[in-house]
Amino acid sequence: MLVTLAACGRTEVVRYADDTPDASVDAGADAGVPDASCPPTTLGLEPAVPTVLFVLDRSGSMAFDIDGRPDAGQSASRWDVLETSLRSVLPPLDMKLAMGALLYPTVGDTCEAPFVVNLSPALGNADRLLSLFATRPLGGTPTFGALDLAARHLAPLHTASAARALVLATDGAPNCNEALDPFTCVCTRPDGLGCMDPQNCLDDARTIARLESLFQTSKLPTYVVGLGSELDRFSGTLDRMAVAGGVPRLGPGKRYYSATSEAELTLAFTRITEQLSRCTYLVVGAVPGGKAHFRVGGAEVPEGPEGWEWLSRANGELTVHGLACDRVAAGGVPSLLVDCR
10 plus 148 within the same structural domain: no
Name the strand (E) or helix (H) holding 326. Answer: helix 322-329
248, 242 Cβ separation under 8 angstroms: yes
Distance CA 297, CA 333 (A): 5
Q: Average pLDDT in the 30-35 region?
A: 46
Among 110-114, 179-183, 190-194, 323-327, which is the least confidently predicted range?
A: 190-194
Indicate yes or no: pTM above 0.85. no
Q: Average pLDDT in the 64-70 region?
A: 82
Of 206, 185, 204, the C-alpha closest to 196 is 185
The DSSP code sequence of 134-185 is: GS---S---HHHHHHHHHHHHGGG-BTTB-EEEEEEESS-----TTS-TTTS
pLDDT for the residue 31 = 42
User: What's the structural domain count of the chain?
Assistant: 2
Q: Average pLDDT in the 191-199 region?
A: 74
10 plus 154 within the same structural domain: no
Predicted confidence band of residue 101 (pLDDT cuts 50, 70, 90): very high
246, 210 Cβ separation under 8 angstroms: no
CATH of the domain at 153: 3.40.50.410
Predicted confidence band of residue 130 (pLDDT cuts 50, 70, 90): very high
81 plus 141 within the same structural domain: yes
Q: Tell me how far the alpha carbon of residue 82 is from its chain's centroid.
A: 19
Of 164, 160, 168, 254, the C-alpha closest to 210 is 168
pLDDT for the residue 17 = 40
Of the spans 4-8, 230-234, 267-271, 314-318, which averages the highest pLDDT? Answer: 267-271
The neighbour count for residue 104, using CB atoms within 10 Å, is: 29
Percentage of the chain exceeding pLDDT 90: 44
59 domain-assigned: yes
- Between strands 334-339 and 291-296, the pairing is antiparallel
318 domain-assigned: no
176 plus 139 within the same structural domain: yes
90 plus 234 within the same structural domain: yes
Name the strand (E) or helix (H) holding 126. Answer: helix 126-131
53 plus 27 within the same structural domain: no
Half-sphere exposure of 84 (CA within 13 A, CB side): 12
285 domain-assigned: no
The mean pLDDT value of the chain amounts to 82
Q: Average pLDDT in the 171-192 region?
A: 86
Structural domain span for residue 266 = 48-278
